[in-house]
Amino acid sequence: MMLYTYLLILHVMAVMSWMAVMFYQPRLYVYHREHYENEGFVEVVKIQEYKLYKYIGLPAFWASLGSGVGMIILNNALLEQSWMWLKLAVLVLLTLFSFSMEYYRVKLLSNPTLHDGQFFRAYNEVPTLLSILIVAFVIAKDEMLWFSLGVLLFFGGVIYQIATLKKHAQTSLKESK
């Protein structure tokens, strides 16, 4: 049982590191996109994007995955609980998001005007939503269906507002001139 405890400690620490990357990396994309004319600034941001993803994000992802799999192997009764399957489903989405960050990092290298800053601001909210769901499933177990639906609706609205806010403001400004 001591091995399980050590794996749990590693898992929590690795997930915290992985999530820190997922909360900050998209913010770097906002800076990259909105300041693409300032070449010196963008060069610094490119280095930060690369190092954050490659040196912190990927190792933390693999440590999270490895320790999580290890805990399931040591306690396979976890797979008999529906909350764990919900957590794993959201984890698949979180993993896809994590790999999408590398996709956008590489795309921004060759096309600095890929999407606008508002897109990346909205994109930045996705890991928050997914992490709230995972934490809710882990802590409250099987009693989280309505809470989860409420969180999805709330954050869906937030992401929509962020994605459309600047566009509406620009449209209003043009109309007032």
Rounded Cα distance, 9 and 114, in Å? 39
pTM given for the model: 0.81
Check residue 176 and give its pLDDT: 58
Q: Which residues are annotated as a binding site?
A: 11, 87
Residues of the chain falling short of pLDDT 70: 144-145, 166-177
Q: Which residues are annotated as a binding site for heme?
A: 11, 87
Rounded Cα distance, 44 and 50, in Å? 10
Check residue 162 and give its pLDDT: 80
The pair of three-digit structure tokens given for residue 4, joined into one six-digit string: 């399980």
pLDDT digits (tens, 9 = 90+) for 19-39: 999 999 999 999 999 998 999
Q: Among the residues of 111-144, which ranges form H helices?
A: 117-123, 126-140
